[in-house]
Amino acid sequence: MHKFVLTGMLWITAIAAEAQYPGYALLQNASSFQAQFAAASQKTNTVKSDFVQEKTLSLLAEKIVSKGKFWFKKENAVRMEYTQPFQYLMIINGSNVYIKDNQKENKISTKSNKLFRQINTIMIDCVNGKALQSSDFKVRIFEGKTTFMAELSPVNKNLKTLFSNINMVIEKKDYAVSRIEMHEPSGDGTSIHFVNRQFNIPLADALFAVR
């Protein structure tokens, strides 16, 4: 009897997963994926990419689309430079964050702000693959035809107020993250799609300098 109940529960879970993410099925055993993804992440020292960001707001009928350039350097350096439709620069280097919005500049240390430090860590960990091992999230892996999707549901109280879940779309061909989706409890969300990606090319330290 217990076997039939368990089988029924797994069947219902699979149907719910496919309804939630069309084209994806829940991986019941993700150990092979985890190993391949960890190996690929370990080999990735730098990333240079264009990106397209789409912001969905419940108060607006149309998405807000932004474009820009993205750089990543191991272990914890990120540069995001928005070029359209506005100029905006964010650099994360260790515990320091530099933001330039038009002519206004701001330097922040995440050491003095726990929540900002958590958000900073999520950004870095989603790129370098460490987010899947974070104790701040419950992780489920889904498989599609050409991509995997890692669903990260916050278990951390502070993060629950910011995100209902964060999804990472991972390409099967190279196990690299091609899209990050951040869903908020309000129903709003942000999707960042990385295109024209280049891996393990030389990147100058000056790109990540926090002035």
Give all strands of the β-sheet with 189-199 in edge-to-edge order.
25-26, 137-143, 147-154, 165-171, 177-183, 189-199, 46-56, 64-73, 77-84, 88-93, 96-101, 104-109
- Provide the pLDDT for residue 135: 86
Nearest Cα residue to 43 out of 128, 103, 137, 139: 128
- Provide the pLDDT for residue 76: 84
129 Cβ contact list (under 8 Å, min separation 6): 37, 38, 40, 41, 44, 177
**HEC profile for 173-186?**
CCCCEEEEEEECCC
Q: Per residue in 196-207, pLDDT tens?
A: 999 999 999 999
Sequence-separated contacts (24+) of 16-25 with Cβ below 8 Å: 17/140, 17/142, 21/142, 21/149, 21/151, 23/144, 23/145, 24/142, 24/143, 24/144, 24/149, 25/142, 25/143, 25/144
- Provide the pLDDT for residue 48: 96
In whole angstroms, what is the distance from residue 26 CA to residue 20 CA? Answer: 10
With a cut of 70, list the residues of the chain below it in pLDDT. 1-19, 113-116
- Provide the pLDDT for residue 136: 86
Question: Which domains are seen in the chain, by residue range?
Answer: 23-208 (2.50.20.10)
- Provide the pLDDT for residue 13: 37
197 SS3 class: strand
- Provide the pLDDT for residue 12: 33
